[in-house]
Structure 1
Amino acid sequence: MKIGYPCVNETLDCSAATTFRLASYTDERVVTTVTNNLACLQRILEFNVQHGLLFFRIGSGIVPFGSHAVNTFPWQTEFAPQFRAIGDYIKAEQMRISFHPDQFVVLNSPDPGIVERSIAELVYQGSMLDLMGLDSTAKLQIHVGGLYGDRDVAIERFIATYRTLPEAVQVRLVIENDDRLFSLRDCLRVHEAVGIPILFDNFHHECLNHDEPMQEALRLAAGTWHPTHDGVLMMDYSSQQLGERKGKHTSSLVEERFREFVTHLNGLDVDMMLEIKDKEASALRAVAILRELGLAAPLPLSASV
């Protein structure tokens, strides 16, 4: 089992998602910014390996305006060696990597322009995984999208759009059950139609479900992942922030809730992304609990204590 956190390391003094305003776009700014972002990404990955955090969600802003028409700079060629070196490091350390495109990526939108831009963003983010030389177990995580007044039509529109995607995107795409619109049951309908894996979110399932017990929900989601092509189940983990609106993620790991959740795994292997505000701080506590339970590998000998 691998534990991770998304995008930002709050311990280090750098960001892998620095950018600039569209009005300030120049090729020179792209070169400088991508150079710095990739250097920071390497530092984050090294920190994670040192601390036994072997699952990481890379932020989508590595290349400013990477899917925008304004960016005509051949960054895929210019930065191919750097992406390859990062990918080699990821593979050597047996890390798991994902991207989670922003909420503007909506494949089931009735607006063709939104769909076109969404596909361009998925192609851009998937191409970074391709440049790293990572196989199809490195994933692009999205939601089904909006309801637009008709659940069945919205699901069918997602399925129709999915079938038009480039194969390089299809093999990486996974859908996540959400907390308000599309439940695990809805995602299973999409999976049955096109075979897309379901990235399971435990907190979203607590907010929106059809009375499936957590252990059963995990089993159903895991069954949508091909062990070779997709790898083990990826999931997001969080819990309710007490005293806040329903669906508000906790700001720090609540250890007793985490320990209780782990009992539902019942031997199931998962790679778990903590969607918790304090990022690596909670991830470090979670992986320590898993080590205590014999569910995570020990720290490398070179790790700081």
Structure 2
Amino acid sequence: MTRSARRTRRMLQVAGLGAAAAIALSACSSSGDSSAKSDASPKSNSAASASPKLSGTVTVFAAASLKESFTKLGHEFEQQHPGTKVTFNFGGSDALAASITSGAPADVFAAASPKTMGVVTDHKDAVGTPATFVRNQLEIATLPGNPDKISSLKDLTKPGLKVVLCDKTVPCGAAAQKALEASKLKLTPVSYEQDVKGALNKVELKEADAAVVYKTDVKSAGNKVEGVEFPESTKAINDYPIALLKHAPNPEASKAFMALVQSAEGQKVLNEAGFLKP
């Protein structure tokens, strides 16, 4: 091989090595950029999808018949959202509505009838349209063992029988009156109670022989009372609406609590308590 040929061969070898090095550097650079983008992308998506952490107190005004179910859901909500607390004011829906329209601080109102919710919405104290989340049906609560052999709504009119009703202004009382009117019956109770728990309590304490309450209340009382169904109750089923209040101190957490109530998990708790699906 001539000197000129050898020099040409060496020049080609050097050029080949340089090209290979350039390709390798380019590959490393491309790999590094891809990795950087890959690392940055999840962080960006995570930040975008992260929801704000809920905290603070949610104050719920709720019908007395919701006491057991809502208390359970309140504990569940607090476990799901550490740093939150759910407080309740249970009572007659009419009294709760009056408190709200008078300026009582509350986040959520869950009423036992559209009529009592209407007091709040008419006063422009609710946000949006209230949603019906459950329904409830009446039942007769008697003393354990049903010693008076009560088997119908008509039996409550027996002379000497001490019967308690909810006040007519309370949803359970209005429903009872509707059932009595449907049956063309007149009943004079020994007392009218301000909420359904008050009526039930009279039977539990044996201060009354029977009371017209909700199925859910009979169920929650366990063996303290005995329940008697009556067909007229189907004509007086109450829808339960829930709403976020206009001046809610903690609206975000309140919306989350309402979402739990209306979720499959919340509905399961309410159905197990005896409430009917909306």
Using structure 2 for the length normalisation, give the TM-score: 0.24
* Structure ranking higher in helix proportion: 2
Larger Rg belongs to: 2
Relative contact order, CA 8 A, sep 6+: which one is greater?
A: 2
Using structure 1 for the length normalisation, give the TM-score: 0.23
* Structure ranking higher in strand proportion: 2
